[in-house]
Structure 1
């Protein structure tokens, strides 16, 4: 099987839980704030329909489980986000592995590691990637007299992605503000909370695409907001900026960021995580170099998402085909 334009003779099962309708009250503290909408699902299904004639969709995990034995020869396309469990991103891969069904993207281990911002930074450090100084706060006693807390600092949930829990108030300059923001986050997402130094510099996303056999492709991009490439240099990339505010985004490829040492460290991380296939390494380029803020194997898979921007030079269907083929290669090896 190759990356040609021939249609694939496989069934693709999309497991995706789009939100129904529009919630005008959604914000950075909404548990369903990272779930895709119906239009995103239709864009992905449309792209897959250009690759194969057989596309099935489940929006409920229990329906998927009830019918999974009928899809043992299919490839599962996880795009399910859930709401409550800290393991929600890892549920579909876990089900697929239990039934021996191939699936696209990261396995349960990698999903769980990347979802834990503290644990993922420890792994980044072992791979030679710099990370910001910070404090893991497991309860209110940890904030009674913290040692060497770096200010200005960012207060964020330990287990969330998509900037959930992140607002302009998350950037704090003293202990009193840190306690207040931590209390607000805990009411919704619970402990632990991560407090880490605010990095000043260009927001960078390093995207990695590949399989477990050949060298992965590694590309970097930055963001221009409202025509300003320095818009985020001293600001947080908040939930409102990403999803609510009237902001014009323009991704900019940034190959100059990828020094040989940084490229090597990113590949080492990709190999260490093993079953990942697609990974985004978010960070900032400071005066000291690139520093990792978080890892995400849950990329925006729409035709205008960062994955298509970085790796979609042959077209969106070709990119989806590549993801499916990589998943099959891994399953058969």
Structure 2
């Protein structure tokens, strides 16, 4: 998420995230937004932590003279220390509710204990369901009501009270607005505003809400829930600083009394947060014209030879079907796509057909820097592009060079040697079995399970000479690492998102030295099975994710990459290869299979990769605007000087 936010770089985040677990779960995302430096709607992390804790909220508000039912916070440790809970010093009946839950979870007639015996039976069960702690409060006979808070409207943000008209047949025995009525039986409830209350009660409950919101520091939106006792007293039950935004919720019913429909209310939340952050929100955003589509240049190399027939010259290129799928995904995000095959004509084509951004999957034509050709051209022409830069792509394509970089960062990779002629002396550090590969190829070109793994020097030199002659490049010799094989996809930039590891499981159990080679990749259904997420212990998963992220950062990858690993029986994790330009064929390429397992469809995957380029495009435009403003300012200063001194000329940096 952090990587995606940084890539998108929003002006304002509309936050509704509840979090997943823990007593401070609602505070997690606001704290993350604050750490990243992005403004957001709603209360801050501190307020959300306090208000999720019903007990703490009431302690804070008690200092303001705000009444709440008498109660006790009970944890599992408290219960173990008690011989008999008795009545906990509270007047019966009492209600037992989870202390750190919202949406009336755990609230039901069955949560009301009429005597000490029922309470003693109820507490262990409640704490098993909610081990963080339960709140035991004196039950107040009466009815529930709530007061919504919408900053900028009502009385200092306090709207009119809301109560609930419940079908008598569905009403709970204790007249509770419980979990059942909020969820499964919501059709039996009418949310009513203004509440059917005397004027003095309305005035009092709004005054209490105002004091609670001010004391807690609630911002933009919220809700304060009360119990109106049969004796006319008001008791604060809880404060919700992250209330429901479902249509028909109390906030929208009360906002309608202010003349706001659903969209207007959401806009009011945005405007409140924007004012607080010093941002400008234009009026009538609901009806604004959609932004002009960007002109996305899509650079690729198209495969015209059938790689399955043994000719691997275009093995790394993309089939027309893959190119069409990516183009359709880009267009689905609202962009105009300009198609460019990465040939010698590309510089002229980019000059004649201006684009805002390049989405690059081009592998290049020849040479050890071929993958860097398009990024280097884009940099020369000042066009932002997706993916890693020219330096990273050149280093990653050179297996030996990338291994040296990884070793400098303390990342484990197999012992290796490069041979340029096949006559070099074999390093004494290398122990058989060894595996030989072309040093500057991808897609497992030149790798064969039958020929590439050798046990003696004679066989090694024969394979080395054959690869050097065939691919016109050095051969890489590596120690063969036995163990499980994994590949991991990463998305993002400075804080990459690590996708679930995928294990490549070899079907031939009789082969002690399996290799995920070129032929297997052409007919993978016969030879391997893919398991994603891989079956790993928590410690193994954490270790693989750490090495994947460290590898991504060591090579300065951007937007997307895939890292291949072998994990030995001892748990040692070796990086086999890094691919910052992975295949994007739907339903086939490893990264696409991993993304699908992670719940990311092909359109979204392309959008995630595109996000990095869009971020750099925004940065470029902001920098250009700043330079233009500076140039105009300096130009005005220059014109005011009658001497026309050259020192007054504005020269853009």
Q: Answer yes or no: same fold by TM over 0.5.
A: yes
Q: Where does residue 585 of structure 2 map in the other structure?
A: 302
Q: Where does residue 10 of structure 1 map in the other structure?
A: 294
Q: Where does residue 242 of structure 1 map in the other structure?
A: 521
Matched, 1:54 2:336: yes
Q: Secondary structure of 2:435's match?
A: strand
Q: Identify which of 474, 490, 496 aligns with 1:216.
A: 496
Q: Where does residue 325 of structure 1 map in the other structure?
A: 611
Q: Identify which of 252, 261, 279 aligns with 2:532.
A: 252
> Mapping of 1:179-328 within 5 angstroms?
179-212=461-494, 215-219=495-499, 220-224=501-505, 234-244=513-523, 247=526, 249-254=529-534, 256=537, 258-288=540-570, 289-304=572-587, 305-312=589-596, 313-328=599-614
Q: Is the 8 A contact 1:132 1:199 kept in 2?
A: yes
Once residues 511 and 356 of structure 2 are traced to their aligned partners in structure 1, the CA distance between those partners, rounded to angstroms, is 42
How far 1:79 sits from its partner (Å)? 1.8
Once residues 84 and 315 of structure 1 are traced to their aligned partners in structure 2, the CA distance between those partners, rounded to angstroms, is 33
Judged with a 3 Å threshold, the aligned counterparts in structure 2 of structure 1 residues 147 and 191 are, in CA distance, closer, same or farther, namely farther
Q: Is the 8 A contact 2:566 2:575 kept in 1?
A: yes
Q: How many residues align?
A: 325
Q: Secondary structure of 2:521's match?
A: helix
Q: Where does residue 158 of structure 1 map in the other structure?
A: 439
Judged with a 3 Å threshold, the aligned counterparts in structure 2 of structure 1 residues 282 and 245 are, in CA distance, closer, same or farther, namely closer
Q: Is the 8 A contact 1:132 1:291 kept in 2?
A: yes
1:26-53 per-residue CA deviation (whole Å, 9 max, x = no partner) reads 34xx332222222222222222232234
Once residues 361 and 337 of structure 2 are traced to their aligned partners in structure 1, the CA distance between those partners, rounded to angstroms, is 14
Once residues 66 and 291 of structure 1 are traced to their aligned partners in structure 2, the CA distance between those partners, rounded to angstroms, is 43
Q: Secondary structure of 1:56's match?
A: strand
Q: Secondary structure of 2:375's match?
A: helix
Q: Is the 8 A contact 1:225 1:231 kept in 2?
A: no
Once residues 165 and 158 of structure 1 are traced to their aligned partners in structure 2, the CA distance between those partners, rounded to angstroms, is 10
Q: Is the 8 A contact 1:136 1:192 kept in 2?
A: yes
Once residues 462 and 470 of structure 2 are traced to their aligned partners in structure 1, the CA distance between those partners, rounded to angstroms, is 14
Runs of 5+ unmatched residues, structure 2: 1-7, 14-289, 620-653
Q: Secondary structure of 2:443's match?
A: coil
Q: Where does residue 126 of structure 2 map in the other structure?
A: none
Q: Where does residue 134 of structure 1 map in the other structure?
A: 416
Judged with a 3 Å threshold, the aligned counterparts in structure 2 of structure 1 residues 49 and 194 are, in CA distance, closer, same or farther, namely same
How far 1:199 sits from its partner (Å)? 1.0
Judged with a 3 Å threshold, the aligned counterparts in structure 2 of structure 1 residues 233 and 15 are, in CA distance, closer, same or farther, namely farther
Q: Where does residue 378 of structure 2 map in the other structure?
A: 96
How far 1:332 sits from its partner (Å)? 3.9
> Mapping of 1:76-115 within 5 angstroms?
76-115=358-397
Q: Under a length normalisation based on structure 2, what TM-score does the superposition of the two structures give? A: 0.46
Judged with a 3 Å threshold, the aligned counterparts in structure 2 of structure 1 residues 327 and 23 are, in CA distance, closer, same or farther, namely closer
* Greater Cα radius of gyration, structure 1 or 2: 2
Q: Is the 8 A contact 2:305 2:314 kept in 1?
A: no
Judged with a 3 Å threshold, the aligned counterparts in structure 2 of structure 1 residues 241 and 316 are, in CA distance, closer, same or farther, namely same
1:119-168 per-residue CA deviation (whole Å, 9 max, x = no partner) reads 1112222333211112221323314x542332111011111111011012
Q: Secondary structure of 1:280's match?
A: strand
Runs of 5+ unmatched residues, structure 1: none
How far 1:225 sits from its partner (Å)? 5.0
Q: Is the 8 A contact 1:224 1:231 kept in 2?
A: no
Matched, 1:171 2:171: no
How far 1:86 sits from its partner (Å)? 1.7
1:244-300 per-residue CA deviation (whole Å, 9 max, x = no partner) reads 566264342126475545433433332333352212111201123210111111111
